[in-house]
Amino acid sequence: MIYDIAIIGAGPAGLSAAIYGQRAGLNTITFEANVHGGQIINTPEVENYPALGKVTGVEYAMNLYEQATGFGATIEYKGVTEVNLKDEIKTLICNDGTEYQAKSVIIATGVTRRKLDIPGEDKFLGAGVSYCATCDGLFFKDKIAVVVGGGNTALEDAVYLATVCEKVYLVHRRDRFRGDRAEVEKVLKNPKIEIVYDTIPLSIEGEGKVERLVVKNVKTEKTTIIPTSAVFVAVGLIPQNDMFTGQIDMVDGYIDAGESCKTNIEGVFVAGDTRNKTLRQLVTATSDGAIAATAAAAYVTK
């Protein structure tokens, strides 16, 4: 069977593409290596999506999934490991060895969290080191936690952890934040959050579990120790595009495509955080999904 549209990734961009593809009367299939929803499931509260109000990231992901499947979208929980995109009929090979073909492909592989790459990070993974505050925050109820980062994710993580932890340190390498002003204000107004500016982490230490974070002030060069039970890492994102290297044009690992979501390959489109763009938000991911699916539908039906 040859599908009209194959979508790689079932995050907000991929599921939005599936909705628009199905509504266009096309036969779509979506592949997801992990759980549907993407990075948004790690967000404790979504409040900046127009007219949506306030919902958790998990609630939003479930609603989007139910809407997509309600339109007849098929989701295969398999990881795509190999692709051939340059032929007219595209080929996708999954991690279980199965092979699929499609007339068009939408890449919505998203991003993963960047690591600190410091001593102790791998050693204490699952024993105090985490990349998901909403997933693991409750394990540290009434304890001290540290968030490392300065973007929206770090700010949101700090605010969320302050609702369950005794105290939260927010370690940031600069003297100002990169996140939205609204998120910054929440952090500044929270008495349980202590901001540690101009500071980088050096190592995570402890006996069997995280007990302290060694940090250094980049201006004074002074090294100090922050006692903590947990270190939550939120220092950036890495696009998941390795399998497309050599086939698709990229910029710093992100797939190069403009607002049309068309790549340099006929019949191949990109949507969401994995696209080279200036703003990576839920609203832009769903917009990309709609644009990419509409463009793919036009390509297939022509």
Number of Cβ atoms within 10 Å of the Cβ of 236 = 14
Per DSSP, the three-state class of 252 is coil
Query: Which tokens is 81 given?
Result: 């490991």
Cβ–Cβ contacts within 10 Å for residue 128, how many? 26
Given 136, 180, 198, 256, which residue is catalytic? 136
| Nearest partner of 2 among 99, 107, 68, 83, judged by Cα | 99
Tokens of 55: 């919902």
Single out the residue of 211, 63, 69 nearest to residue 128, CA to CA.
211
* Catalytic residue list contains 132: yes
Report how far residue 158's alpha carbon sits from residue 134's, in angstroms, rounded to the nearest whole number: 10
Alpha helices in the chain (DSSP H): 12-23, 57-70, 133-136, 152-162, 181-189, 282-301
Q: Give bridge partners of residue 122 from the DSSP assignment.
A: none
Is there a contact between 37 and 65 (Cβ–Cβ < 8 Å)?
Answer: yes
| E strand intervals along the chain | 2-8, 28-31, 74-76, 80-84, 90-94, 99-107, 111-113, 129-130, 144-148, 167-171, 193-196, 199-205, 212-217, 223-227, 230-233, 237-239, 250-251, 254-255, 268-270
3-class secondary-structure state, position 3: strand
CA distance 265 to 249: 9
Catalytic option among 87, 122, 135, 175: 135
Residues annotated as part of the active site: 132, 135-136
